[in-house]
């Protein structure tokens, strides 16, 4: 094993990582659109002459869920460009303009976006509010810590949104906050929540059915980044490890040796990487152990392009769940059959 690890690292030392540098374009504050409505409360704004709420969001899954609930009654602009490492994202100074004009700022919380929250607090306009959706959805007693998020560093795993259970809770928080700020449209937000929550529940049910086709004892995840800890806990999977350590650097030789040993001992058929962040180490672990390397999972980068059907939270997780189940020897018949069509047009702004 030691010789194998040494050979692996000798090879990796000379591999050049070809990550594309993602430059954040300046976000220009959205002009608040004045909308009127008929005397009987039609399909436009809450009250005659009122302005839509301007809502800033961080990662694209939150932007997508907020758009499903807010629909055409709010203006939503994302902050974190898709394909960016949200854990290390540093907002550009131009983002301050959006943060200084937003009425609501929806963030995940759980220590995911501290630089953005700091910038928001420094530029928050009177009456605006920062809402940490994940922090409100998860009691501290349920925080999970792991290889990528060790407890001694004080940052829990923040990836609640990859679990349908918490995606519904996120939608509840967004519904309640929007309804409090815009009570005239509370019924509209509630109706949008119901349709979204129903679709998420159907997806969750399909996952539970399809995961039973995975051979016994094979629902084990080795990923580039541990984005499925809460999903694994609630759906009966096991996360055996993650390649990316808490400092987002490369793992040490001993850590790689441990991962290789786990893959071999537990006979994991597929290890899962990220389409956004290719991992030469995961690829080499696959070669060394005989496991297949699947590099197409996404944590917070929606598939497709803005405006397309699969560019949504539902599209993201439908693809991820089907890919994981098939990669571990199962079939995704029920997941594949899901209709993820949204009755609400997604008009949110997603930085690319």
Please provide the DSSP assignment of 18-80 as one string.
Answer: -PPP-PPPPPPPPPPPB----TT--SS-SSTT-BPEEEEESSHHHHHHHHHHHGGGEEEEE-S
Contacts of 92 (CB under 8 A, 6+ apart): 24, 26
| Residues in a beta bridge with 242 | 223
The CATH label, of 3.20.20.70, 3.40.50.1220, 3.40.50.1980, 3.40.140.10, for the domain at 53-205 is 3.40.50.1980
pLDDT the model gives residue 147? 77
Per-residue pLDDT tens listing for the chain (352 residues): 545 544 554 554 444 344 333 333 333 333 333 333 333 333 444 444 468 999 999 999 999 999 999 999 999 999 999 988 788 889 988 899 999 999 999 999 999 999 999 999 999 999 999 999 999 999 999 999 987 788 998 899 999 999 999 999 999 999 999 999 999 999 999 999 999 999 999 999 999 999 999 999 999 999 888 899 999 999 999 998 888 666 666 778 888 888 899 899 989 999 998 877 778 888 889 999 999 999 999 888 999 999 999 999 999 999 999 999 999 999 999 999 999 999 999 999 999 8
Is there a contact between 133 and 69 (Cβ–Cβ < 8 Å)? no
pLDDT at 7: 52
What DSSP string runs through 155-194?
-----GGGSHHHHHHHHHHHHHHHHHH-GGGHHHHHHHHH
Read off φ and ψ for residue 322, nearest 5 degrees.
-65, -40
Residue 253 CA, distance from chain mean position: 29
- What pLDDT, on a 0 to 100 scale, did the predictor assign at position 55? 98
Paired strand residues for 56? 77, 105
The answer regarding whether domain 206-336 maps to CATH 3.40.640.10 reads no
* Token pair for 286: 């696959």
Count of CB atoms situated within 10 Å of the CB of 225: 24
Three-class secondary structure of residue 211 per DSSP: helix
Which residues make up the CATH 3.40.50.1980 domain(s) of the chain? 53-205, 206-336
pLDDT at residue 236, rounded to an integer: 97
Residue pair 170/161 in contact (Cβ under 8 Å)? The answer is yes
End-to-end CA distance of the chain: 42
């Amino acid at each position: 094993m030691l010789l194998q690890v040494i050979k692996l690292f000798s090879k990796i030392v000379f591999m050049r990582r070809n990550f594309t540098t993602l430059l954040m374009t300046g976000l220009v504050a959205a002009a608040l659109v004045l909308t009127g409505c008929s005397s009987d409360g039609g399909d436009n704004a809450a009250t005659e002459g009122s302005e839509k709420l301007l809502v800033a969001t961080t990662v694209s899954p939150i932007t997508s869920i907020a758009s499903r609930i807010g629909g055409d009654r709010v203006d939503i602009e994302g902050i974190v460009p898709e394909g960016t490492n949200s854990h290390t994202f540093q907002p550009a100074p131009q983002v301050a303009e959006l943060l200084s004009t937003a009425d609501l700022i929806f963030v995940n919380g759980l220590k995911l976006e501290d630089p953005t929250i700091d910038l928001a607090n420094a530029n928050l306009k009177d009456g605006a509010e920062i809402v940490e959706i994940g922090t409100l959805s998860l009691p501290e007693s349920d925080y999970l810590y792991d290889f990528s998020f060790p407890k001694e560093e004080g940052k829990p795993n923040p990836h609640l949104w990859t679990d349908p259970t918490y995606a519904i809770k996120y939608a509840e928080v967004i519904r309640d906050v929007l309804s409090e700020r815009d009570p005239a449209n509370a019924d509209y937000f509630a109706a949008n929540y119901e349709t979204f929550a129903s679709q998420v529940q159907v997806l969750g049910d399909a996952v539970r059915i399809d995961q039973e086709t995975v051979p016994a004892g094979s629902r084990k995840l080795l990923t580039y980044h541990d984005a499925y800890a809460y999903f694994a806990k609630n759906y009966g999977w096991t996360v055996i490890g993650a390649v990316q350590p808490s400092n987002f650097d490369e793992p040490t030789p001993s850590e790689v040796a441990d991962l290789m040993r786990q893959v071999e001992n537990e006979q994991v058929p597929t290890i899962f990487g990220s389409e956004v962040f290719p991992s030469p180490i995961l690829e080499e672990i696959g070669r060394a152990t005989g496991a297949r390397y699947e590099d197409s999972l996404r944590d917070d980068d929606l598939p497709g392009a803005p405006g397309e059907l699969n560019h949504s939270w539902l599209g993201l997780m439908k693809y991820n769940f089907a890919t994981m189940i098939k990669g571990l020897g199962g079939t995704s018949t029920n997941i594949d059959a899901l209709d993820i069509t949204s009755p609400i047009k997604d008009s949110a702004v997603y930085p690319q």
